[in-house]
Amino acid sequence: MIYAQSPLAIGIFFFFVIAVLFISFYLGRKTKSAQGYYAAGSSIHWAVNGIAFAGDYLSAASFLGICGMIATAGYDGFLYSIGYLAGWMVALFLVAEPMKRLGKFTFTDALDSRFKSRKIQLTAAISTLVVSIFYLIPQMVGSGTLIQPLLGLPHYVGVILVGVVVTIIVATAGMASTTYVQFFKGGMLIFFSTILVIAVLSRGLSTNPDHGGERPYHQFTTLQATEAADGTFKVSDSSFQAAAGWKQSVYWKEGFVKLSKGDRDSIWHVKKADSGYTLEETLYTAKLADGTMLYNGAAADKGEFFPVGHLQEIKMDGQTVAQTGALGPLAFLSTVRDSTIVLWGKKVLLEGDNQVQIYFQKPTPGAKVLRPGLKFKVDGATPAQKFDFLSLMLALFAGTASLPHILIRYYTVPSPKDARKSTIVAIAAIGFFYALTLFMGLGAMMSGVINITDNNMSAPLLALSFGVTLFAIISALAFATVLGTVSGLIVAASGAVAHDLLDRFFGMNLTDSKKVLAGKISAVVVGIIAMWLGIIFQGMNVSFLVGWAFAVAASANLPAILMLLFWKKTTADGIAASIVVGIVSALGLILLSPDMFVRYGKLASDAPIAFNNPAIISIPLSVIALVVVSLLTQVRTSKAPEAEVAGT
Amino acid sequence: MAHGPASEWGVDHAARYKGRLGILLFAIYTTLYVAFVLINVLAPSVMDTAIGGLNLATIYGMALIVVALILGIIYNKLSTDAETRLTAAAEPLAAPDAQPQASKEDAQ
């Protein structure tokens, strides 16, 4: 697909990003030299901290991933919003205050404070490293997604751009994500998303989403065809020809047929009609054996691949209309519910050595869009599919509190009351934002803007349909958010390597300057790994990737944290075992999952397991490991837990 | 990510109360969440039930977001009251809602 580059958009984008970076550096310097803003009496107001919390938490995954999934699969994307938010209940009610009372706020430190065990140091450091890398993948994929429509550069350019910029920042100065920067980013993200939703509601719905005539929407063709007596495939429009072996081809078996017109091949979805067949135009990509990608039979820049997203029929208050006017939020949802939307199914085939992905039209009643079932099958689902659904909802619920960079915010809160209040502000802000995602996602679904090969772009492209300025601002905010999250993750990961692993565990006793050097080298290595992974996972919905990260984090960390806080018989060996079992089982199951197999270039049905999210197996395994090993090692830790040491 | 030095919270007299309250509220929310998940897995057509112009799925989903906020507010209110009450009972001569000392040992 071709995106027209606008100098204005690029200008606004760079201005915003540089402004955010500048503010972040400036405030970061000030904070470091002023002995911390935590001097007596000058604490940050809980409301500011709360919005900063939200800014910290709402990453590319929320904005791009959830909207993208809602835009293509409806309510199933909203499940992510619900799950992510529900996870705050674990953090607020179970983990935050007790952890804070231990006097520690990183996962590793908290575990270490009670046990001082080398095994825990090692496993917790590895856990931080693995979870950070997993959480980096969706951010890197998201950055490629943002750059593509903005600068017209391929996905990998965006990934490398973020990777290089952040690695340089982290390796040279270290980015302090100060509260005010996060407050600013979080506040602006919510503000502009609200503007976008108001714009969507004002535009209303239309069966021909041409943005007020500015961008004609591709009208997908339907043809008729019959099988002639001599075995040839006769199409009503005779400029289309079918190859001789059409009935034996892999396409026909799956319900498609490949036609050629001139030098271009197109694939059509075949439906039986009264006399012969009806052919519906599809979109397809083909990855040839040598790696070239063809879009609808032509190279990417030929513009033969169209954005999609339209309503087939709109029913408002019982009447069929072609266009509604402005709608309120409830009217919007109920109109969607009564209408029919054209969604797109995907079929992956192997034609010889080429991997072909076909996107075909699937008119879907709005009622089905507004409830779970389109991506995560629930109606008439197989046990494996139900299993997958349960697993996902568990991963989301358990994941929030397992992320090290969430709890760390409680470090600087002056009192339990302020901690609670800022959490509530955060929950309100995040909850409101997630409610907005439903409207942004649905808006994108029906505005003819979706790139069906990469639904991550849906929200920015929706903004684009309202004008370049909104698009540039929102892309810039999302990009700055990605920069912040990526830098934090690289710092955490390189810290785990340099400080926890090399210095403490391996006892290398590095001098300060060597430690810093080790940190920088690890930052570069982690950065390179992250870039590579970000390129490989192009096109995968970022929320889905975060679902994986959450599953790994929850399997590795949550049983350890909860048992440490609530079960007296927990031992160091038990915790170490639980972390290892959690990571290995979660990671292993992910690598064997159907969606990973598609990434490997194979078919989903080749995968040995049938579900994508490992949480429902890996979390219980981790708990069992902890309990069993703790009970087995009870004898060794017979001394009573020491009185808590304050500070440090 | 540098967030500054850690703050210290003084002795927390309401710790046990808050711990139990937290577990209770967590249990309430988890029940609602699990019910949501189970309905979708075991009886998905129930989610189609019309309520006003919307379906149960949308309302339940939005409700889970709103209820999270409400429970958070309840937790805060009850916890703050407990802190005031239990601190006053334990340290009757100290001011209620005592802030931790500003001048800390420089152990950090």
Q: Write the pLDDT tens digit of every residue in A460-489.
A: 889 988 888 888 888 888 887 887 778 778
Residue A441: CB atoms within 10 Å = 27
Residues A116-137 have pLDDT tens digits of: 788 888 888 888 888 888 888 8
β pairing state of A340-351 and B54-55: unpaired
Asked if B41 lies within 8 A of A411 by C-beta distance, the reply is no
Q: Quick one: which of A117, A91, A27 has its CA closest to A430?
A: A91
Instruction: Please report residues of B whose CB lies closer than 8 A to that of A333.
Output: 53-54, 58
**Is residue A639 within 8 Å of residue B1, measured between CB atoms?**
no
Instruction: Give the C-alpha separation, A177 to A395, whole Å.
Output: 27
Nearest by CB to A420, from B33, B75, B104: name it.
B75
Residue A177's pLDDT is 55
Q: Position of tokens 């005592």?
A: B98
pLDDT digits (tens, 9 = 90+) for A488-529: 788 778 777 777 777 666 777 667 777 777 777 888 888 889
In the numeric block, the tokens 């072909």 are attached to A356
Q: Which helix (H) or strand (E) holds A361?
A: strand A354-365
Question: Using one digit for the tens of pLDDT, what is the confidence trace for A606-625?
Answer: 888 888 889 999 999 999 99
3-state SS, residue A465: coil
Mean pLDDT, range A418-443, rounded to an integer: 90
Burial of A599: CB neighbours in 10 Å, binned 0-12, 13-18, 19+: middle
User: Given an 8 Å threshold on Cβ–Cβ distance, is A330 in contact with B52?
Assistant: yes
The alpha carbon of residue A630 is apart from the nearest alpha carbon of chain B, in Å, by 24
- Comparing C-alpha atoms, which of A207, A197, A177 is closest to residue A335? A207
Q: Do the Cβ atoms of A408 and A111 come closer than 8 Å?
A: no
| HEC per residue, A4-40 | CCCHHHHHHHHHHHHHHHHHHHHHHHHHHHCCCCCCC
pLDDT score for A422: 84
- Cα–Cα distances (Å) from A614 to A151, A189, A209, A387, in that order, read 37, 32, 39, 10
CA distance A78 to chain B (A): 8
Closest CA to B57 of A373, A443, A362: A373
Is A100 in the B-facing interface, judged by CB distances under 8 Å? Answer: yes
Q: Name the DSSP letter for residue A220.
A: P
**Is the pLDDT at B106 greater than 50, yes or no?**
no
Task: State the sign of the Cα–Cα–Cα–Cα dihedral A280, A285, A288, A294.
Answer: positive
Helix (H, G, I), strand (E, B) or coil at A223: strand
- A91 has pLDDT over 90: no
- B41/A378 CB distance under 8 A: yes
Q: pTM for the whole thing? A: 0.83
Looking at beta carbons, which pairs linking A366-369 to residues 24 or more positions away fall under 8 Å? Answer: A366/A335, A366/A336, A366/A337, A366/A338, A366/A339, A366/A340, A366/A341, A367/A337, A367/A338, A367/B48, A367/B55, A368/A74, A369/A74, A369/A75, A369/A336, A369/A341, A369/A343, A369/A442, A369/A445
Tally of residues, chain B: 108
Task: Decide if A32 contacts A177 (C-beta within 8 A).
Answer: no
The HSE-up count of residue A383 (CA atoms within 13 Å, CB side) is 1
β-pair type (A283-287, A293-295):
antiparallel
- Residue A166: list chain B partners with CB under 8 A: none
Average of pLDDT values for A450-469? 86
Cα distance between residue A108 and residue B75, in whole Å: 28
Q: Please say if the pLDDT value at position B35 is more than 90.
A: yes
Higher pLDDT, A103 or A144: A144
Burial class (CB in 10 A: 0-12, 13-18, 19+), A300: middle
* Contact residues, chain A, for B22 at CB < 8 Å: 92-94, 97
**C-beta atoms of B40 and A389 within 8 A:** yes
ipTM above 0.90, yes or no: no
